[in-house]
């Protein structure tokens, strides 16, 4: 049973920020596809619920070749999945969204809500960190932008201090960049038992200039594996190196054991996914 | 907690409700409005039995607050029929034996209709993706896929009673 709460429905972002500032014990709902579940389980029972689903100022997808991609917090997963510009410039986001929960959830759930919920098994976190995304957050006092990799603090915890998610910013990809994402699960629309996102940028000679590997559901937050970056930058295509990177991923993750898999199993799968995603991203970067 | 007044438009008709804001859309539809075609299954956004359409999009009514659905056109399985006659997709489900226990059918029908609204000519794979958020525990998926395929191919253009 969901506990009683007072319902607040602002019309604009300004109103939303003012209402949020007024109430200490207040949770923000947008699509509510994660929030209502934890409220139903009685895990949280806020006194106020601030509904920003209909705040129009935050529903947008903008792309500029220099500035990159800006997605408003209340943009639905489905809008991202159907965006032509994202399909063209950031295809990995489309394949990630395609497998995020079900169509019904993507029709109502939002990117801002997904990130604010900070479930380490969430799909967008790992992919967006691999794409070097930033997140704009704020309250009535002001706004700030943080790198998404610094946004997640722990299970379901972020750096937000009574702030709202306002916007996700993804820089324009450098030339010769490829990215890939895969989650391991039994049903395609389930959350990943583990997941790996990789992004690779090559120079004109096909040497790795930049790389990121981010592990999903492998710890309390998405994990960026910096040791793999040290291993691969400056190197040419070499499948043995990808295998070595996989070994590093298995070592540097911190997965828990649960009904879906033991810790050993998760470490093993993360190694396999890392090897495969690096190969796939590298081949895409080569074009 | 302060009760709230809201107007929900369901199947083209406005309903004025005075509810606790924690009321879920599925509760408003079933318990307050009295349309019990929409089923309440898992209550955790997993099974899809509670699927309805909001402005033509399939959503799970167990995970949307009724307050959030104000201002939209909500369609439930009762809203599929036209002038007392079954819609093509409903006829297709009957002809293909796509009901076994029948519990998933209202949600399946709404996901199927939402798919057909946006994709007139889906491939089998697209049909299967279209109902990925709906679980049928009798596992009658093949007959459901055949029904949607038949409806898409225009085998049931005339709504029959």
CATH 3.10.20.30 domain extents, chain B: 4-79
Q: CATH 3.30.465.10 residue ranges in chain A? A: 59-170
Query: What pairing do the DSSP bridges indicate for beta strands B4-10 and B73-75?
Result: parallel
Instruction: Give the H or E element holding residue A207.
Output: none
The ipTM is 0.95
The CATH class of the B88-152 domain is: mainly alpha
pLDDT score at A71: 98
Q: Tell me, yes or no, if B132 comes closer than 8 A to chain A by beta carbon.
A: yes
Interface of A with B (CB under 8 A): 2-7, 9, 29, 32-33, 36-37, 40, 49, 51, 53-54, 78, 101-105, 107-108, 188-189
Interface mutation target, options B70, B127, B133, chain A, most CBs of A under 10 Å: B133
What homologous superfamily does CATH list for B4-79?
A: Beta-grasp domain (3.10.20.30)
Phi (first) and psi of residue A146, to 5 degrees: -125, 150
Kindly report whether the global pTM for this prediction surpasses the value 0.90: yes
Q: Residue B160 pLDDT > 50, yes or no? A: no
Q: Tell me the pLDDT of chain B averaged across its residues.
A: 94
Give the tokens for residue A189. 């629309």
- Residue B121 pLDDT: 96
**Chain centroid offset of residue B58 CA:** 7
B69 interaction partners in chain A (CB closer than 8 Å): none
DSSP conformation letters of B45-91: SSS-TTEEEETTEEEEGGGSBGGGGTTSEEE-GGGTSBTTB--HHHH
Q: pLDDT of A190-202, one tens digit each?
A: 889 999 999 999 9
All residues of chain B having their beta carbon less than 8 Å from the beta carbon of residue A107 are: 54, 57-59
Q: CATH 3.30.43.10 in chain A, residues?
A: 6-51
- Binned at pLDDT 50, 70 and 90, residue B158 comes out as low
Q: Identify the CATH number of the domain defined by range A177-286.
A: 3.30.390.50
Q: Does domain A59-170 have CATH number 3.20.20.70?
A: no
Closest partner residue to B22 among A4, A9, A101, by Cβ? A4
Q: Are strands B57-60 and B51-54 parallel, antiparallel or unpaired?
A: antiparallel
Does the CB of B17 have a partner CB in chain A at under 8 Å? Answer: no
For the stretch A200-224, what's the b/e string if a residue is b when 16 or more beta carbons lie within 10 angstroms of its beta carbon?
bbbeeeeebbbbbbbbbbbbebbbb
The minimal CB distance from A107 to the residues B1, B4, B59 is found for: B59
Asked if B161 and B86 count as a contact pair (C-beta separation under 8 A), the reply is yes
- Say if B119 is an interface residue toward chain A (CB within 8 Å): no
SS3 A10: coil
The yes-or-no verdict on residue B161 having pLDDT over 50 is no
CB contact under 8 A, B63 and A107: no
Which residue among A7, A49, A102 sits closest to B132, beta carbon to beta carbon? A102
Q: Which CATH code fits A6-51?
A: 3.30.43.10
Residue A235 is classified by DSSP as P
Please determine, for residue B11, whether its predicted confidence score (pLDDT) is greater than 80.
yes
Structure-token pair, residue A238: 């070499």
Residues of chain B contacting A102 with CB distance shorter than 8 Å = 45, 48, 60, 132-134
The reported pLDDT for the residue numbered A1 is 85
User: Per mean pLDDT, which range of A95-99, A112-116, B65-69 is the poorest?
Assistant: A95-99
Section B13-17 average pLDDT: 98
Q: Which residues pair with A168 in a beta bridge?
A: A71, A135
Q: Where in chain B is the domain with CATH 1.10.150.120?
A: 88-152
Every domain of chain A with CATH number 3.30.390.50 lies at 177-286
Distance from CA of A235 to the nearest CA of B (A): 40
Residues in B closer than 8 angstroms to A5, CB to CB, are 1, 21-22
């Amino acid at each position: 049973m969901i506990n009683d709460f007072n319902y607040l429905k602002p019309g604009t972002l300004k109103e939303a920020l003012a209402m949020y500032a007024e109430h200490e014990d207040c949770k923000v709902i947008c699509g509510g596809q994660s929030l209502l579940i934890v409220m139903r389980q009685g895990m949280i029972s806020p006194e106020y619920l601030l509904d920003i689903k209909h705040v129009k100022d935050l529903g947008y997808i903008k792309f500029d070749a220099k500035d990159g991609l800006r997605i408003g917090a209340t943009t639905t997963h489905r809008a991202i999945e159907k965006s032509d510009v994202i399909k063209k410039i950031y295809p990995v986001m489309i394949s990630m969204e395609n497998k995020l929960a079900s169509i019904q959830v993507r029709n109502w759930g939002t990117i801002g809500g997904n990130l604010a919920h900070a479930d380490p098994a969430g799909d967008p976190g790992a992919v967006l960190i691999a794409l070097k995304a930033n997140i704009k957050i704020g309250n009535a006092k002001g706004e700030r932008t943080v790198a998404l990799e610094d946004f997640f603090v722990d299970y379901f915890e972020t750096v937000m201090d009574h702030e709202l998610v306002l916007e996700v910013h993804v820089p324009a990809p450098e030339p010769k960049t490829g990215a890939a994402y895969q989650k391991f699960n039994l049903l395609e629309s389930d959350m990943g038992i583990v997941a790996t996102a990789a992004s690779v940028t090559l120079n004109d000679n096909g040497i790795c200039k930049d790389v990121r590997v981010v592990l999903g559901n492998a710890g309390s937050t998405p994990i960026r594996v910096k040791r793999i970056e040290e291993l691969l930058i400056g190197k040419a295509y070499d499948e043995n190196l990808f295998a070595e990177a996989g070994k590093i991923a298995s070592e540097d993750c911190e997965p828990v054991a649960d009904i879906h898999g033991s810790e050993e199993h998760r470490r093993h799968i993360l190694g396999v996914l890392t090897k495969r995603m690096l190969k796939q991203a590298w081949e895409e970067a080569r074009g | 907690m302060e009760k709230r007044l809201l107007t929900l438009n369901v199947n083209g008709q406005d309903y004025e409700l005075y509810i606790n804001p924690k009321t879920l859309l599925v509760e408003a539809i079933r318990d307050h409005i009295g349309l019990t075609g929409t089923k309440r299954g898992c209550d955790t956004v997993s099974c899809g039995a509670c699927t309805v359409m909001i402005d033509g999009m399939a959503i799970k009514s167990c995970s949307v607050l009724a307050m959030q659905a104000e201002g939209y056109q909500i369609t439930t399985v009762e809203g599929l029929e036209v002038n007392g006659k079954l819609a093509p997709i409903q006829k297709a489900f009957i002809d293909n034996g796509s009901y076994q226990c029948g519990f998933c059918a209202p949600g399946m029908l709404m996901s199927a209709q939402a798919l057909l609204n946006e994709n007139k000519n889906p491939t089998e794979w697209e049909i299967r993706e279209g109902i990925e958020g709906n679980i049928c525990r009798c596992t009658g998926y093949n007959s459901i896929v055949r029904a949607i395929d038949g409806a898409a191919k225009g085998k049931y253009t005339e709504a029959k009673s």
